Amino acid sequence: MTLSGRLLVIVLIQTLVLAGMIAKCQWTLASGTPVVLKTQPIDPRSLFRGDYVTFNYEISRLKLNELEGEDEFRRHDTIYVVLKPGEPYWRAHAVYRAPPPGQLALRGTVQYVADYWWNPQTGASEAMPHINVRYGIEDYFVPEGEGRVLERPVAGEEISLRVAVDRFGNGAIQALLINGVERYRETLF
């Protein structure tokens, strides 16, 4: 193969990989079902890339005895969390290892499994089998300097995210809402 041919192969492969990343997100954003998830910003970081906020969703920690589906999970398992609409936020309804047919489910990875959890209301540790899940939609990049504002919402402000969930379980952040009003919105290109 000539030098030009080999360079073309490299450029094509690398471009396809990057285009694939974009296409997957665009497809999820365009075709996914929008769900609004309750969240709490927990960890804004200032990197050289700009500010980003890490969100801890209500569905990031799942109490297994309150959900339908399977009960036995291990660290690094891929799981599908069935979501049902609520008022105003969508909630976890069931959790499975395989994609449940005909139901809207968000795919995640089990970070850890625990039998006890600390109840902030009673200040005590209680028996509660639960799993902590990462969905790949925890980080949200914002313009430089605005991460701190989101980290410390003023009293009464509630932050939520509208997430598009496609039929394969992929999630993509569509908008960041404060008290139900859009603050940042992702557009197609």
Partner 1 sequence: MSFKKQLEQRLPHWVEQGWVSADSATRILQDTAAGERHGPRYVALAFSLLGVILIGSGVITFFAANWAAMPKLLKLGVLFSALWGSYVLAGVFERRQLPLLATAMLLLGVILFGSNIMLIAQIYHISAHYPDGVLVWALGGVLTGWLLRSQPAMVAGLGLGVLWTGLESHGFGREVHWPFLLFLAVSVWPVVQLRWRIALHMALAGLLLWSGFAFVAMSGWDYRDSAAIYLVQVYFLAYLALFLAGMLLQGRHGAQALAHTLQRYAAFAALGSLYLLTFPDLLRHARHAHLAWWLVTLAALLLVVALAAWHYRRTAGVMRPPFLNWGLGLLAAALLLLLVNLAAERHLAALLALLFNLLYFAGLLWLLRAAVHLEHRALVNMAFFFFAITLLARYFDTFWSLMDRSLFFMGGGLLLLGGGYWLERQRRRLTQQIAGQREGGA
Contacts to partner 1 by CB under 8 A: 3-4, 6-7, 9-11, 13-15, 17-18, 21-22, 25, 48-50, 52, 75-76, 109, 134-141, 143-144, 172-173, 186-187, 189
Q: How far is CA 78 from CA 11, 22, 123, 158, in A?
A: 33, 23, 32, 30
Closest separation in Å from C-beta 109 to partner 1: 7
49/152 with CB nearer partner 1: 49
Residues 6 or more apart whose Cβ sits within 8 Å of residue 174? 29, 34, 161, 162, 163, 164, 185, 186
Least distance (Å) between residue 73 CB and partner 1 = 15
CB nearer partner 1, residue 19 or residue 68:
19
Min dist. Cβ of residue 12 to partner 1 (A): 10
E strand or H helix that includes residue 172 = strand 171-178
If the CB atoms of residues 107 and 130 are measured against partner 1, the closer one turns out to be 107
Is residue 130 a contact partner of residue 73, using CB atoms and an 8 Å limit?
Answer: no
Q: Which is nearer to partner 1, 1 or 124 (CB)?
A: 1
